[in-house]
Amino acid sequence: MKIKPLQISAHIILLLGVLLMVVPIWISFASSTHDTVTILTEGMKFNIGEYFSRNYNEVLNEKGGWSEEVTAAKMFINSFIMALGIATLKVTISAMSAYALVYYRFKLAVPIFWLIFITLLVPLEVRIFPTYKIVSDLGLTNSYTGLILPLVASATATFFFRQFYRTIPDELLESAKLDGANSWRFFVDFLLPLSKTMIAAMFIFMFVYGYSQYLWPLIMTTSEKYWTVVMGMKIIFTESYEGVALPRTAERFAYIILSMLPPVLVVVILQKWFIKGLIQTEK
Amino acid sequence: MSFLDLKNVTKIYPNGTKAVHETSLSIDEGEFMVFVGPSGCGKSTLLRMVAGLEDITEGEITLDGNLINEVDPSERDIAMVFQNYALYPHMNVYNNLAYGLKNRGIDKKDIDQKVNEAAKLLQISDYLERKPSMLSGGQRQRVAMGRAIVRNPKIFLFDEPLSNLDAKLRIQMRLEIKKLQQKVGVTSIFVTHDQTEAMTLADKLAVINNGIIEQLATPIEIYNNPKSLFVAGFIGSPQMNFIDGELKNNTLSAEGFEIKNVKSDFNGDITLGIRPEHLSQSDNGLINLNVDLVEQLGSDNLVYGQLKDKKDFCYRCPGNLTIKKGDKLSLNIDNENYFIFDKSSGKRVN
């Protein structure tokens, strides 16, 4: 096979991109396996050190925070619950509301759709005070419900589902009707399986969105029991502020590496599905 | 009372368009009814009203003695084959066939048996595990029919199911549909705009134009005895020739010729219709044709040409006659096989 110059240059560009993405992560990982003293004296490391298990063990199990009652492991669990809850509910609600908008041709479907769409202009950060007021009036501060609920409505996902449903030919619905499927069965037996790839993609986006929330959990939680990973990044291992002990740089690198894992895992797991769906032309 | 009865069925769309005018017809059990007409004539709307996919504005539809106006499509026990087949893309062929049965709560063993039976009948047993995207047009067509057959419905509806196939396959599937319907014996309604399909398939044919049934009869009756100008022009291929003329005191006069002793009391402007196959050459024929073009089909020749007044005209003759471009032919009408229509109303007057 002849290799064209264009291919070579394309690959060089791709390789550069990959390096740009991977090198910082590698440095973080390599540094996280060294002793803090080594990093502070010798700078960031490219090679793997000897303290891998000690550092990671410390990060996961050491109690941190002001009241010393939260561990990183607990924060991971919190983040995971929050992201999973947000992603699942967002996908479910969007798919269902899009179904209602497309298939139940009620009078106000179009205005309602645009109303939903407009909420894109008002992200959580803009409406954070009223949202906080409502959540606290409902007594939901310091709870998983409070963390998840205000974030579950998604205009973006509703929009994508709506556009997708509109490409499904009417005959499919009619045919299903004649085969004895009611509205619920049509949704479950047809729309959901047909939008598998769409659901996978939305789930990935929404999971990462939920996982990387910072401001909302910060305001929402006063109890350390509900801290999330992204909050923890700022708060945990902050002994150096006192100027007494050394900053625990190695542990913080370990923490950063760990914090990247859940979204990466979700992408890797769902990607299989995602690509499978893209290859099969099922429509 | 017949199996399926339509009584004054009317469809008016919300925007005010009247797609189907007060239509009444009845179909006997086991009969193969074909609705034929140009696109937009309301034939599909009529079919969809029977299926329950369109609301009925006025009138009544009864199936097997039950009024089904308000019955949900899923409860009507009707199966439909769509133009684009509407196969379920995410299910394999087996599940495509089985889905309707599953929804009716039939147990697995019976479903399995019925699906296999239908698959055997349609020769799709080898593809049961395949997805519809892996099938050819003809196979998809079979699956769509299988989905209808397997449920053993009261009535089959076909909405132009052959129009997505290539010409050869279309003829083959046409035959298969007819054979299958005769074998299974289910009452069927078939919608098409193709007059050949309509003629070959139908036990009874309804020619529809502008939301009105122009004529309802057996195909051969419609061919031999069209009731209106529209029906005459629509059924038959190549199309019937039309010549304008005048009828007065039983004498018909048109550009260049006269027919005496016409059996009609009508007086006034008329349109004379002559089928291309009802002509033959003779020395002192009525009609003089200047040949422009000859299409040789093998068994037949289609001769196209112009009359004196430059009107296009077609003559169908046996394939063994040699006629060339530029020939002048003299033609007679066989056995008074002509039709006379009132020019203004289009109604048959002889």
Distance CA B48, CA B309 (A): 45
Q: With 50 as the cut, is the pLDDT of residue A240 above it?
A: no
Lowest mean pLDDT among A19-33, A242-256, B70-84, B300-314: A242-256
Give B158-201 pLDDT, tens digit per residue.
999 898 888 888 898 899 899 988 888 899 999 999 999 999 99
Token look-up 């033959």 returns B280
Distance CA A144, CA A138 (A): 13
Give B94-143 pLDDT, tens digit per residue.
999 999 999 988 999 999 999 999 999 888 999 999 999 899 888 999 99
Number of A:B CB contacts under 8 A? 66
CB-based contact B86 A174, cutoff 8 Å: yes
Distance CA B214, CA B198 (A): 15
Cβ atoms B207, B222 nearer than 8 A: yes
More confident residue, A42 or A242: A42
> What pLDDT is attached to residue A282?
45
Confidence of residue A133 (pLDDT cuts 50, 70, 90): very high
Q: B164: which chain A residues are within 8 Å (Cβ-Cβ)?
A: none
Cα–Cα distances in angstroms (integers) from residue B135 to residues A17, B84, B98, B120, in the given order? 42, 13, 18, 17
Look over chain B and give the mean of its residue pLDDT values, rounded to a whole number: 90
Is residue A71 classed as helix, strand or coil in its secondary structure? strand
Does A189 reach chain B within 8 Å, measured CB to CB?
Answer: yes
More confident residue, A71 or A151: A151
> What pLDDT is attached to residue A242?
52
Q: B72: which chain A residues are within 8 Å (Cβ-Cβ)?
A: 177
CB-based contact B80 A174, cutoff 8 Å: yes
Lowest mean pLDDT among A44-48, B23-27, B249-253: A44-48
Confidence of residue A279 (pLDDT cuts 50, 70, 90): low
CB atoms within 10 A of CB B125: 15
Give B50-64 pLDDT, tens digit per residue.
999 999 999 999 999
Q: CA nearest A193 in B: which residue?
A: B90
Q: How far is A15 from chain B (nearest CA, A)?
A: 37
Partner residue opposite B82 with nearest CB, options A171, A181, A283: A171
Q: List strand residue ranges (DSSP E) for A89-139, in order.
A: none
CB-based contact A172 B86, cutoff 8 Å: yes
Q: With 70 as the cut, is the pLDDT of residue A238 above it?
A: no
Confidence of residue B214 (pLDDT cuts 50, 70, 90): very high
Q: How far is A281 from chain B (nearest CA, A)?
A: 7
Phi, psi of A96 (to 5 degrees): -70, -40
> What pLDDT is attached to residue B80?
92
CB-based contact A178 B83, cutoff 8 Å: no
A222 Cβ contact list (under 8 Å, min separation 6)? A141, A142
Exposed, middle or buried by CB within 10 Å (0-12, 13-18, 19+), for A273?
middle
CB-based contact A181 B73, cutoff 8 Å: no
CB-based contact B103 A178, cutoff 8 Å: no
Q: How far is A264 from chain B (nearest CA, A)?
A: 29
Tell whether ipTM is more than 0.90.
no
Structure tokens that stand for A258 in this block: 């760990």
Give B224-236 pLDDT, tens digit per residue.
999 999 999 999 8
CB-based contact A179 B131, cutoff 8 Å: no
CB-based contact B80 A190, cutoff 8 Å: no
**Interface with B, mutate which of A107, A172, A179, A279 (most B CBs under 10 A):** A179
Q: With 70 as the cut, is the pLDDT of residue A239 above it?
A: no
Token look-up 């949202």 returns A131
Q: With 70 as the cut, is the pLDDT of residue B1 above it?
A: no
> What pLDDT is attached to residue B147?
92
Q: What is the 3-state secondary structure (H, E, C) of chain B?
A: CCCEEEEEEEEECCCCCEEEEEEEEEECCCCEEEEECCCCCCHHHHHHHHHCCCCCCEEEEEECCEECCCCCHHHCCEEEECCCCCCCCCCCHHHHHHHHHHHCCCCHHHHHHHHHHHHHHCCCHHHCCCCHHHCCHHHHHHHHHHHHHCCCCCEEEEECCCCCCCHHHHHHHHHHHHHHHHHHCCEEEEEECCHHHHHHHCCEEEEEECCEEEEEECHHHHHHCCCEHHHHHHCCCCCCEEEEEEEECCEEEECCEEECCCCCCCCEEEEEEECHHHEEECCCCCEEEEEEEEEECCCEEEEEEECCCCCEEEEEEECCCCCCCCCEEEEEEHHHCCEEEECCCCEECC
Distance CA B14, CA B55 (A): 11
> What pLDDT is attached to residue B213?
93
DSSP conformational letter for A153: -
Cβ atoms B311, B243 nearer than 8 A: yes
What pTM did the predictor assign?
0.80
Q: State the average pLDDT over residues B296-301.
A: 89
Partner residue opposite A282 with nearest CB, options B78, B82, B133: B133
CB-based contact A172 B133, cutoff 8 Å: no
The fraction of chain B above a pLDDT of 70, given in percent, is 100
Q: A180: which chain B residues are within 8 Å (Cβ-Cβ)?
A: 74-75, 100, 103-104
Distance CA A92, CA A198 (A): 12
Distance CA B163, CA B194 (A): 9
Distance CA A21, CA A15 (A): 10
Q: How far is B68 from chain A (nearest CA, A)?
A: 14
**Interface with B, mutate which of A178, A184, A197 (most B CBs under 10 A):** A178
Confidence of residue A277 (pLDDT cuts 50, 70, 90): low
The fraction of chain A above a pLDDT of 70, given in percent, is 90
Partner residue opposite B84 with nearest CB, options A171, A176, A177: A171
Partner residue opposite A171 with nearest CB, options B75, B86, B147: B86
Confidence of residue A278 (pLDDT cuts 50, 70, 90): low
Q: State the average pLDDT over residues B268-285.
A: 90
B136 Cβ contact list (under 8 Å, min separation 6)? none
Q: A280: which chain B residues are within 8 Å (Cβ-Cβ)?
A: 131, 133
B-proximal residues of A, 135-174, CB under 8 Å: 169, 171-172, 174
Does A175 reach chain B within 8 Å, measured CB to CB?
Answer: yes
Q: CA nearest A178 in B: which residue?
A: B74
DSSP conformational letter for A237: T
Q: Of all helices (H) and strands (E), which one includes residue A158?
A: helix A155-166
Partner residue opposite A169 with nearest CB, options B75, B86, B90: B86
